[in-house]
Amino acid sequence: MTGIARHLPILEWGRHYDRAVLASDLVAAVIVTIMLIPQSLAYAMLAGLPPQIGLYASILPLVAYGLFGTSRTLAVGPVAVVSLMTASAVGQIAAQGTADYLTAAIVLALLSGLMLTLMGVFRLGFLANFLSHPVISGFITASALLIASSQLKHILGVSVQGDTLPEILSGLVGSAGKANPITAAIGLGAILFLYVARTRMKRALTGIGLAARPADILTKAAPILAVAVTVFLANAFDLGARGVKLVGDIPRGLPVPGLPTVSLELIATLAMPAFLISVIGFVESVSVAQTLASKRRQRIVPDQELIGLGAANIASGLSSGYPVTGGLARSVVNFDAGAQTPAAGMFTAVGIALATLFLTPLLMDLPQATLAATVIVAVLSLVDFKAIRRIHDYSRADFAAMVATVLVTLLWGVEPGVVSGVLLSLALFLYRTSKPHMAVVGQVPGTEHFRNIDRHDVITDPAILSVRVDESLYFANSRYLEDRIAKLVADCPNLKHVVLMCPAVNAIDASALESLEEINHRLKDAGITFHLSEIKGPVMDRLRKTDFLDQLTGRVFLSQFEAVSALRNRNDAGHTQPTQRTDAGKMPLDPSPSLP
């Protein structure tokens, strides 16, 4: 049962389900359903799909994730960034509003689901680590700006084409004279109302004596209120006849599960976009899930999360939906509303299904500007300029990667932005590790600790060079290691021993092993003995499988203190007094040395 429960988490939390948990899940489901109805419609429009597709993508995927997902509070469904990526990918294949466009979106969901599931089965969740946090933050910020700007055409009631920021802004400027004033009034009014509701409504309601829970529910229901009011106005004043674009007829009924007819060419074309959507969706989802789980001292299993999200996307594709993932806003709402298990998502699916069956006729007079306002207010919360400044102050390299990702996404589109982010993340990793931090160290007086001679007052010996390398050794930095040790040796004319201190070396690949052999050979020719110290167990196990230890001219010491003590006791090893370093910028002697 344990093995089955690991892959079917519902068997674990379902055993402890009781009335109290049921009540909490039902309340959370009602609140999230209220929030999700306008969001689903809006995000489908953002993806270039009919509004009912957003509702379809919010039914079976929630049930599938509830069966296979490990987060108790993650709310799965359409999200802004994935919707934008869907529009970008599918828009290259077919025109919006055509059957081929919808088919491509469905295939995209199925491919993403299969990829996520396979990644989970083969435990490939680590692939998401190739996107650094600054790059992800930059991509989401740029995507939010793209999304917000792309919705301005609905706010103004004009027709604008383009997938990049210059194209969108150029189209908006060129069409500004054709803006519909009534549409603009509705759109800007909805934006203002939703923004005020998001930032001040709860405080205002509690200020007049309303309890916190009802105030929170009313605040979350603000988009529904905006929808209801604008539908009433559009119907009462026949705004459709005055040029205001309305959602129009939304088909009633639930989707019929099935597979679309597709070609291998379509699958090949969508394979890379599906992979990018899978990775971005997983990173966003697992970040939210881990954050919420930690607040209740729960845990998620990333590889099982891949399977849960994969199942959700397959379910979305089978029910005529498009790619989905865990959303930040609705997950936080689900958490704050008191959801205890994934059953809350299943109850939400029931609520969305009922809305699809019975409420869609009421939405035919809904202005598209209202949905656009919902998207704009939702995505602008994702723009994090403070993070850009914070990263600039901390790391210029990360800042450069972040800004590059933002610019590529805004100027060339979503997919180039993701690809450039991955490449920049890898390039940053290779750059940083290709020149690892290496320090000449000496003994802190009165201790067995060794610290950087440029930071501490330490004891050194002209016959012993102690070098600490603070990075695993592999092909990208092996040459740097050779060059650095050669330079240090050249600067020490009385040198007889070199000790490479390796407390931070977690791996030595074949290239680095050859470099160590070359260092050992060169030092031997120069009459210098080469030693190693503080080698980790797994690294030592691999070295024992080679003949390097047999060729090593020196020894492998358990600790640096043992190495220096043994070498000083040799007849050919000299000894010096502690060097007091008082240069500007040097750290004083630490009486309790614990810093590197």
Question: DSSP string of 270-302?
Answer: HHHHHHHHHHHHHHHHHHHHHHHHHHTT----H
Quick: pLDDT tens for 362-397.
Answer: 889 999 999 999 989 988 888 888 888 899 899 888
Tell me the pLDDT tens digit for each residue of 563-575: 999 998 874 444 4
Residues 501 and 540 in one domain: yes
Q: What integer pLDDT is reported at residue 86 of this predicted model? A: 95
Residue 63 domain flag: yes
State the pLDDT at residue 545. Answer: 94
Statement to judge: residues 298 and 444 lie in one domain: no
Residue 587 lies in a domain: no
Instruction: Mark which of 427, 462, 491 sits at the end of a domain.
Output: 427
Q: Which of 366, 397, 427 is the last residue of a domain?
A: 427
Residue 586 within any structural domain of the chain: no
Burial bucket for residue 559 (CB in 10 Å: 0-12, 13-18, 19+): middle
- Eight-class DSSP state of 201: I
Label each residue of 245-264 as H, E or C: CECCCCCCCCCCCCCCCCCH
Q: Assess whether 182 and 45 both reside in one domain.
A: yes
Residue 15 placed within a domain: no
Note the pLDDT of residue 14: 82
Same domain, 392 and 449: no
Average of per-residue pLDDT values in the chain: 88
Going by pLDDT thresholds of 50, 70 and 90, the confidence category of residue 54 is: very high
362 and 445 in one domain?
Answer: no
**Same domain for 442 and 415:** no
Cβ burial, residue 287 (10 Å; 0-12/13-18/19+): middle
432 pLDDT band, cuts 50/70/90, is confident
Per residue in 242-278, pLDDT tens?
Answer: 999 999 888 888 988 999 888 999 999 999 999 999 9
Same domain, 205 and 349: yes
- Per-residue model confidence (pLDDT) at position 456: 94
What is this structure's pTM?
Answer: 0.80
Q: Are residues 473 and 417 in the same domain?
A: no
Which of 129-133, 394-398, 470-474 shows the highest mean pLDDT?
Answer: 470-474
Q: How far apart, in whole angstroms, are the C-alpha atoms of residue 153 and residue 186? A: 13
Residue 541 counted as domain residue: yes
Same domain, 401 and 446: no
- 392 is a domain residue: yes
- 210 in the same domain as 169: yes
Using a 10 angstrom Cβ sphere, with 0-12 exposed, 13-18 middle and 19 or more buried, the burial of residue 358 is: exposed
Q: Please tell me the distance from the alpha carbon of residue 478 to that of residue 13, in angstroms, as a whole number.
A: 50
Same structural domain, 412 and 453: no
Q: Map 79-148 to HEC letters.
A: CHHHHHHHHHHHCCCCCCCCHHHHHHHHHHHHHHHHHHHHHHHCCCHHHHHHCCHHHHHHHHHHHHHHHH
CATH number, domain at 529? 3.30.750.24
Tell me which of 372, 404, 427 is where a domain ends.
427
- The structural domain count of the chain equals 2
Structural domain that includes position 229: 20-427
In a domain, 589, yes or no: no
- Structure confidence by residue, pLDDT tens digits, 301-311: 889 999 999 99
Q: For residues 448 and 408, state if they share a domain.
A: no
- pLDDT for 589 equals 36
Residue 309 · residue 69 · CB < 8 Å: yes
